[in-house]
Structure 1
């Protein structure tokens, strides 16, 4: 991250001129490196206050420290760097106690909420583990098992996500088009991880996909929006392996202007440019990493908690649904694996921070 200069700096300062409050959601994803970068940028934005933290702007953080930290950094509250100093400058804490996803008051829902609370606090019980195992394949009817075959699958690793997505793609039994990144002639196109674009995207009709960038926030076409491919359109004379002209995707939560009056949720999605590259901002989404699902609410999910016991990973995976009947555990796991959540890195330090 380099300092801003010239017209770039002037445009940034102009766009920030009337901003007084910076509101940031999912604060567990803010590591010491990122919070320091936010501080640097805000000092650049407000030169009159560039000797003060965050350029003398108010920062409001939302989220839950019991959720997983970002992948390539440590929790900010454990840092002894300047990022840790910035974190400890936040001295006003407001705790929100109302749960909005699992709201009903039936005994089963109350038990599910208690299980989630125990998971968040890394307090495992045999009763909670047995309740989870009641949602494993061995206890579900054949009808229920078949329903969950098409549910979103959550895995702890990218490798498992990729494997499941490829299996599901092949199981469709339909022609597969490969959308290959387009690069400026004469240049080599490399896509940094943070750009959220892929060099090659397999596509077929009926495929589950996820939007990988914020396209139009007001209409809910945001990074993480889930949809289904309905049509793949090419320019005349072009064939798969070329970049499609556009892809029609039915986004479940889209609330913007109607493009197809017969199917209001259908939207034409065109390739976007990042540097020297053009590609569709899509990823296969029959399966997701638990980290990627952190901000989502799912109607139905199948979970493989894997062998990693990072703080909050199991809690996030299981809390994405409204109730226990929307959850399938596959494969099953022993109580010993479940009890490992007590030994997740940073749990004790996080509890101390919350106190």
Structure 2
């Protein structure tokens, strides 16, 4: 088009300039190629850089290997030729530079065309290697060597080290004042504490993280998305106007004093110590025994008779009782009745003779008990660490000093190994009866084997030979010869046809014997078949979903429906780039960010205060 146009046309020059500018701005690769072919530097800097590679003390280096200080200016035809090393060039410096150290000379001069030329501005001296400045650390000798070579005036290594008879660390101490007076290099001074060496690096990393976490507009995020992109529905939470404009700090100060905010890391421990839950208050709750049904009363009377014999000093065998019952048969109610009975028989002011335990924090809270692992000082990952130190054993013995009975709820979650560990801990807690099962304590296990099975363990009733600990647990279980079964459902005790049908459906689901009629009954409760009023009754219930993506979507919708400011809390990664890229599974459940709002429901992944339901 340009060739066939009128050369006198004024538009031609404008179009030519536009084309030239387009090529210059967009074809970066072509520019780099042309610069390399013409041996033109790819960048220009107002400051000059000098590289001092002190890894080797050889007098000559091979060009093109990255060892020379002028590698950026190496021409293709010079690759493979030898060149003097920075140390060799320094050793052969003219006498007029006799009082210059290696660092000072390269800071103010540059060696070009076989001569030292003074620079208008000080150079930026890059030093390799950069050993750790930690005094007496693994790289301490190397650090001393580099510092001495940089700042102590010398003509050769033999002169400096007195023919290798003086160590570098001694030379560093000998010339310490001279080294510090020569100027600051990028290595910095020696330090005595390892934390000091990482301060600057941490600051730089934090700055980089801050830059990466800066606010990005929606169009920037959309521009980065390729085809079939997965849209994160939570991306705007924490960045909306209401989120950014909310005064989070002032909000916290209105509710908590400065002392509470300063001690926020110890909030739970302080709250638990200030609100001690008295066992006597829990155990003093007396159940109306007349409300117990026939099966419950049989267990109740048996425990009562046994404890009367214990209080009378009679020699009786400890109880080994299993109480079975499906959901809603009054197992928790019976536990409360037995605990109240034992406390009443001992005396309200006395220490409790009964310890109520459960495998999980939720189950323990429901029965006002404690978790098995916490109460008996059993480590969560206890398979490889079965011992207990003397201090913790002393605390355990003091805690269980008055205990005569243990009630373990949710027995279906107690497996071979955990039962063996319970037996082991009780024998350690009561050394005078270490040869007796459970240290001579009576144990009552309550639950339904049709419910949740143990985690990474075998159910107690399975007779499968495994390791010694597992085999011991099964042997202990076989000593429970007394079994009671509760079969009267209390929770769904209505007599309507609908209630009876629902109870029957639950029982068949438990036994894995569901029928087509059961499916038809449950089909009437599908969400799309419920009225708006019925759906609203379940708005705050917990959803059970098959995929994590569905779980996240429901949680985000719930959080958004609160219509309150949301705080986005990003994790601080201390493991570098790999830690930042890791998912929550790799980080053992730790999320890269949390979305929190006032009124949001949260889930605790660890038991931090079981007595208070946390």
Equivalent residue number for residue 444 of structure 2: 60
Correspondent of 2:597 among 184, 204, 222? 204
- SS at 1:208 equivalent: coil
TM-score (norm 2): 0.31
Equivalent residue number for residue 489 of structure 2: 99
Structure 1 pair 214/122, CA: closer, same or farther in 2 (3 Å)?
same
Structure 1 pair 202/36, CA: closer, same or farther in 2 (3 Å)?
farther
After TM superposition, give the deviation of residue 118 of structure 1 in Å: 1.1
Equivalent residue number for residue 254 of structure 1: none
- SS at 2:544 equivalent: strand
Say yes or no: does 1:120 pair with 2:510.
yes
After TM superposition, give the deviation of residue 42 of structure 1 in Å: 0.6
Correspondent of 1:133 among 518, 523, 535? 523
Equivalent residue number for residue 51 of structure 1: 435
Q: Distance in 1 between matches of 2:613 and 2:554?
A: 24
Structure 1 pair 36/128, CA: closer, same or farther in 2 (3 Å)?
same
Q: Distance in 2 between matches of 1:180 and 1:91?
A: 55
Q: Give CA-to-partner distance per residue, 1:14-41, whole Å, 9 cap, x none.
A: 2212111111111111011211111111
Q: Give CA-to-partner distance per residue, 1:186-240, whole Å, 9 cap, x none.
A: xxxxxxx9xx9967653212212356536363xxx324xxxxxxxxxxxxxxxxx
Q: Give CA-to-partner distance per residue, 1:121-167, whole Å, 9 cap, x none.
A: 21111111110111002322344335434432134677754553244
Correspondent of 2:613 among 213, 216, 222? 222
Q: Give CA-to-partner distance per residue, 1:302-324, whole Å, 9 cap, x none.
A: xxxxxxxxxxxxxxxxxxxxxxx
Equivalent residue number for residue 78 of structure 1: 462
After TM superposition, give the deviation of residue 62 of structure 1 in Å: 0.8
Equivalent residue number for residue 188 of structure 1: none
Say yes or no: does 1:31 pair with 2:412.
no
After superposition, residues 1-355 of structure 1 pair within 5 angstroms as 1=382, 2-80=386-464, 81-155=471-545, 161-177=551-567, 201-210=594-603, 213=607, 215=609, 217=611, 221-223=612-614
Q: Between Structure 1 and Structure 2, which shows a larger proportion of strand residues?
A: 1
Structure 1 pair 181/132, CA: closer, same or farther in 2 (3 Å)?
same
Residues 32 and 79 in structure 1, CA contact (< 8 A), matched pair in contact too: no
- SS at 2:482 equivalent: coil
Give ranges in structure 1 of 5+ residues lacking alignment: 183-192, 224-355
Q: Give CA-to-partner distance per residue, 1:93-137, whole Å, 9 cap, x none.
A: 111122122121111101111111111121111111110111002
Give ranges in structure 2 of 5+ residues lacking alignment: 1-381, 465-470, 573-584
Structure 1 pair 158/102, CA: closer, same or farther in 2 (3 Å)?
farther
After TM superposition, give the deviation of residue 76 of structure 1 in Å: 1.8
More relative contact order, 1 or 2 (CA 8 Å, 6+ apart): 1
Paired residues, number: 210
TM-score (norm 1): 0.52
Q: Distance in 2 between matches of 1:160 and 1:73?
A: 30
* Larger radius of gyration between Structure 1 and Structure 2: 2
Q: Give CA-to-partner distance per residue, 1:217-269, whole Å, 9 cap, x none.
A: 3xxx324xxxxxxxxxxxxxxxxxxxxxxxxxxxxxxxxxxxxxxxxxxxxxx
Q: Distance in 2 between matches of 1:72 and 1:156?
A: 22
Structure 1 pair 98/39, CA: closer, same or farther in 2 (3 Å)?
same
Computed over aligned residues only, the root mean square deviation of the Cα atoms, in angstroms, reads: 3.1
Q: Distance in 2 between matches of 1:90 and 1:179?
A: 51
Q: Distance in 2 between matches of 1:157 and 1:91?
A: 43
Q: Distance in 2 between matches of 1:53 and 1:158?
A: 44
Q: Distance in 1 between matches of 2:549 and 2:420?
A: 31
Q: Between Structure 1 and Structure 2, which shows a larger proportion of helix residues?
A: 2
